[in-house]
Amino acid sequence: MNPDRRQLMGAALAAGLLPCLPAAAVRAERWAFGYFKNRDEGHPGLRLAVSADGLAFEPVQADEPVLLPTVGENRLLRDPCILKDPAGPWFHAVWTTAWEGVTVGYARSRDLLNWEAQVALPVMADVPGTRNVWAPEIVFDTDRREFVIFWSSTVRGRFSDSAGTSEDDYNHRIFCTRTRDFQSFTPAQLLFDPGYSVIDATFHRSGGKLRMIFKDERLKPEHKWLQWCEARTPLGPFGPVSRPFTRSWVEGPAAFQRGSETIVLFDSYRDNRFEAAATRDFKTWRDASAQVRLPAGASHGSVFPIDESLYEALRRA
C-alpha cells in the first residue's frame, strides 16, 4: 500500500468511517455465543453458536439445546451467561429460572456440551419483598480472586423515589453475591443504584478499564436504552453514567472484544432481531448490525472467547 493510501485509511479509521477490521486482521481467536430463544417456550434451553471471526455465528448441534432447565420456580432458562474459570477447566453458567422468584440457575461444564447437575441458587431468599431475579451474569474479580454473580431485582417497598416509572410496578436495581467455589455465597447486597430502574447489567474490560453496560428501564419518561459507566472493580465504585449509545426499546447487551473494537450485541425485541454497536473508545459508536449474523430467533445471551480445539469440537457437534 502506498503511503498516501495508508494515510487516508488511517484517517478514515480514526474517524470511524470504515467498517471494523476483517477477520484476517483480528488477532487469532474464536468465540462462542450462549443464548436462548425467547419464542420457544415449548422447547427451552441453552443453545450455543460459534464464530471464527466474531461476526458470523454458526449454531452448534443443529441449534438444539445443549442444556435443558430442570431447576427453579418456573424451570425456565432465559438470559444465560457463561464465563470461563480463569484458574481451571470449567465453564460456569447462570440463567434466569422464573418470571417471579428468588433463585438463579447454575451449572458447570468442561466442554460446553456435557453439563453437571443443575442447582437453583436462592440468591435473594433472605431479602424480604423480593419479586424477581432477572438476567444474572458472572464476572471474576481479579483483586479479590472471587466470582461476582449479579442480577436485577425488584424489592417491594424499596427505592420509592422511582416507583411507577416502569411497567407493572417493576423498579429494578442490580444486586450481587460473591463466591470462590460456587458452594458458599455471601449474602445478597445492593451493587448498583443510579437512582432509577435498571436491568441487564454486564461487565466488559478493554483498554485497561472495566465498564458496566446496562439498560435504563424507565418507561416514564420513555428511555429503554443502553448506557455504561466505568467501575474501579466489579463491586464499584462506579463513575458517572454515559449518555445512551443505542436507540430505545433494546435490551440484553453482550459485549466482547474483537481486535481493537468492542462489539456490543443487543436485542431489538420489538423488531425480533439482534443489533450491534461497535466502538474503540466508548465515545464514538457505529452501527455494526449489518455485519453480524446470529442464529435465527436468538435472544439475550453472552459472547466469550474459546480456544481453537474447543471451537473445532463444537463445530463437529
DSSP secondary structure of 236-302: --B-PPPPPSS-SS-EEEEEEEETTEEEEEEEETTTTEEEEEEESSSSSEEE-GGG-B--TTEEEEE
Check if the beta carbon of residue 294 is closer than 8 Å to that of residue 265: yes
Mean per-residue pLDDT, 71-80: 96
- Report whether pLDDT(20) > 60: no
pLDDT at 38: 82
40: pLDDT confidence band, cut at 50, 70 and 90? low
- The predicted pLDDT at position 305 comes to 96
Q: Is the pLDDT of residue 10 over 80?
A: no
Q: Residues 297, 290: contact at Cβ < 8 Å?
A: no
Reported as a single tens digit per residue, the pLDDT across 95-147 is 999 999 999 999 999 999 999 999 999 999 999 999 999 999 999 999 999 99
Confidence label for 8 from pLDDT (cuts 50, 70 and 90): very low
- Cβ count within 10 A of residue 184: 8
Residue 41's pLDDT band, with cuts at 50, 70 and 90, is low
Buried b (16+ CB within 10 A) or exposed e, 194-211: bebbbbbbbbbebeeebb
Degrees (nearest 5) of the Cα angle 285, 290, 295? 115
> Which residues, including other chains, have CB under 8 Å from residue 299's CB and lie 6 or more apart?
35, 36, 37, 38, 78, 252, 267, 269
Q: Are 215 and 197 in contact (CB under 8 A)?
A: no
SS3 at position 32: strand
Q: Write the CB contacts of 89 (distance below 8 Å, at least 6 apart in sequence).
A: 110
Let me know if 260 is exposed, middle or buried by CB neighbors in 10 A (0-12, 13-18, 19+).
middle
* Percentage of the residues of the chain whose pLDDT score is greater than 90: 88
Each residue's pLDDT tens digit, 264-302: 999 999 999 999 999 999 999 999 999 999 999 999 999
Q: SS3 breakdown of the chain: % helix, strand, coil, rounded to 5?
A: 10, 40, 45
Give a three-class secondary structure readout of 79-130. EEEEEECCCCCCEEEEEECCCCCCCEEEEEECCCCCECCCEEECCCCCCCCE
| Closest C-alpha among 168, 219, 228, 220 to residue 194 | 228
- Count of C-beta atoms within a 10 Å radius of residue 100: 12
Is the pLDDT at 171 greater than 90? The verdict is: yes
The cell numbers describing 120, all together, are 437453583
Distance CA 76, CA 70 (A): 8
Given this model, what pLDDT does residue 29 score?
85
Q: Is 7 a residue whose pLDDT tops 50?
A: no
Q: How confident is the model at residue 71 (pLDDT cuts 50, 70, 90)?
A: very high
Q: Nearest Cα to 302, choosing from 153, 201, 189?
A: 201
Quick one: DSSP state of residue 66? S
Q: 458472572: which residue's cell?
A: 138
Q: Supply the mean pLDDT for the chain.
A: 91
pLDDT digits (tens, 9 = 90+) for 23-35: 333 344 899 999 9
Burial class (CB in 10 A: 0-12, 13-18, 19+), 85: middle
Distance (Å, whole) CA 300 – CA 264: 12
